[in-house]
Amino acid sequence: MNSTGLGPADTLPAQGSGARPGRNLQVLPDSVDWRALGKVTSVKDQGNCGACWAYAAAAAIESAYLIARPSVSAADVDMSEQQLVSCVNAANGNWTSRGCDGGWSDEAINYSVSTPLLTEARYPNTPGAPRCRANLVRTSPAGTFVRLATGASRVPPGSELSLMQAVALQPVVVYFSVSPEFHAGGLYTGGGCTNLVNHA
């Protein structure tokens, strides 16, 4: 099992795999704190499942939903990471993600364009990566899911300006390198970072 949960071999899928170039802002704000604006949901624990990619994607989708619907509170938004772990899976179609053995957030976000992402209450977390419950997805009533209008965009590696532009629009998924020691809490300031990414 991939202990952190990024994709197989920790190499990013090709740019043509569904990720699109992001929008550019001509004028950047001096700062933006999406947490203070109430557009970031609570931190969740992926447990022993290497699905950081799904948790990061669900959090980005939750934030996009909150930005699009200003009257909704972050406490009221909880999308299903389990649906992403189980359904955005190499066993279920044209995905490279492998459930609890790693995956890519852009695949999960792009899945949520074509398939409704259910709430955690409707599609609850189950240990491991059980089979996709596609029938539940197809038969869910309004109010128990969101569907994205657009898919994932990719920020060019090493482009701080592009990253600032993306963050000015909404919270983003970031891949980074962590050391083998597990982090207990707070800000991660691990040394020895490399260009190889293994966590989202």
Active-site residue numbers?
Answer: 52, 199
CA distance linking residue 158 with residue 161, whole number of Å? 9
Residue whose tokens read 């899928």: 13
DSSP 78-127: -B-HHHHHHHSBGGGSS---BTTB-B-HHHHHHHHHHSPEEBTTTS---S
For 119, phi then psi, to 5°, come to -75, 160
Residue whose tokens read 């950047």: 28
How many other CB atoms are there within 10 angstroms of residue 194's CB atom?
9
CA distance linking residue 134 with residue 195, whole number of Å? 37
User: 52-68 vs 105-114: helix axis angle to the nearest 10?
Assistant: 50
CA distance linking residue 121 with residue 88, whole number of Å? 19
